[in-house]
Amino acid sequence: MPRKSANQIAMEGVVGPDPWKYERPDPPEGMPELAAAVWRDVVSSMKARHFTKETHALLARYCHAMAECARLETELARVGVGLPAYDRISQRLNGTMTVALSYARALRLTPKSNLESRADGRDPRRTLGPKPWEWGNEPEGRKKPWEL
């Protein structure tokens, strides 16, 4: 084991053993398994440290709403179309989906609310296709502005 410097020994009491523990928080204790799975999916799909401590309560509500949507969708598939229960479950599902969407927007989980560059509506670091200068559809005889 390598030796520790005097600065590292002095900082051990100030900084905890794992300062990056809250980059991707674990689901809270007592959360149902379906909601905890939604929590893990959401946290792993976002950037590290996207969810700070003050957003955990809202994230928990979002996860519970998404779990309820999944449960209602299963129930809706089980119930036959045209029955009174179908209409009641469908209305409840629509309301729950609306609430879940509002939580997702507040947490900046939706693609539109998650953009960093609002000037042109795209996130420059998340482009999947070729860059405009890589398209290669320029005519051969045309000079570029910096070549004039």
What are 54-64's pLDDT values in tens digits? 889 999 999 99
Comparing 102 with 21, the larger pLDDT belongs to: 102
Among 14-18, 29-33, 51-55, 76-80, which is the least confidently predicted range?
14-18
Using a cut of 0.75, tell me whether the model's pTM lies above it.
no
pLDDT at 23: 74
Q: State pLDDT tens for residues 104-138.
A: 999 888 877 766 645 443 444 555 566 666 776 66
The residues, any chain, with a CB within 8 Å of residue 101's CB and separated by 6 or more, are 110
- Give the 3-state secondary structure percentages of the chain, helix then strand then coil, rounded to 5: 50, 0, 50
**Nearest CA-CA partner of 55 in 124, 15, 103:** 103
Contact (Cβ atoms closer than 8 angstroms) between residue 109 and residue 46: yes
Here the tokens at position 137 are: 């559809």
The pLDDT tens digits of the residues spanning 44-54 come to: 888 777 888 88
Contact between 65 and 100 (Cβ < 8 Å)? yes
Mean pLDDT, rounded, for 34-50: 87
